[in-house]
Amino acid sequence: MVRLERLHEEHAQALLAFERENRQYFARSIPDRGDAYFGEFTARLRVLLAEQDTGRCHFHVVLDSRGELIGRVNLVDVEDGSAELGYRIGERAAGRGVATGAVGEVCRLAATVYGLSALTAAATLDNVASLTVLERNGFTALARDILLNGRPAVRFQRRLG
């Protein structure tokens, strides 16, 4: 079973370790964050937390049954009852339903806690796992001819309620 926690400064060390541990794994399917991300991690985290305090985004860490950080799931660009969903699950937790569960939970939070009525997301066509997670969570394809990081992708939406 996975648990979502709203991102706090206390997650900094575990989150940085998670990002470092999974850097090469993530780079196989999404652009690498670059060395500056890691070198400026603490300052970037403060900026994200300040942005979260405004309600413009909602960042979460995904924890396993032992309380270890195994992923992230975020709602960004909150505006007019809508937000963009993004998530990443670490390599050692991949393929076990963690992403499906975490996305389902953040959809519930989006509707019941954050008062959102719709979420959007995008996934590249070659990221079959991510496409499956979105479809299993009730997202429907809006556009199939977009580019995401220069690669063919699908844009999805889910109405909440």
Interatomic CA distance for residues 103 and 36, integer angstroms: 28
pLDDT of residue 27: 86
Identify the three-state secondary structure at position 75.
Answer: strand
Q: Is the pLDDT of residue 145 over 90?
A: no
Q: What is the rounded average pLDDT of the residues 34-48?
A: 93
Over pLDDT 70: what percentage of the chain?
100
Interatomic CA distance for residues 34 and 27, integer angstroms: 10
Q: Tell me the pairing of strands 118-124 and 82-89.
A: parallel
Query: Smallest Cα–Cα separation from 103: which of 146, 126, 78, 137?
Result: 137
- Tell me the Ramachandran region of residue 82: left when phi exceeds 0, alpha when psi lies from -120 to 50, beta otherwise: beta
CB 113 within 8 A of CB 5: no
pLDDT of residue 79: 97
Q: What is the rounded average pLDDT of the residues 117-123?
A: 97
pLDDT of residue 61: 98
pLDDT of residue 161: 80
Q: What is the rounded average pLDDT of the residues 102-128?
A: 96
What confidence tens digit (pLDDT) does each residue in 52-94 have? Answer: 999 999 999 999 999 999 999 999 999 999 999 999 999 999 9
Task: Supply the mean pLDDT for the chain.
Answer: 94
pLDDT of residue 32: 78
Q: What is the rounded average pLDDT of the residues 99-123?
A: 97
pLDDT of residue 29: 79
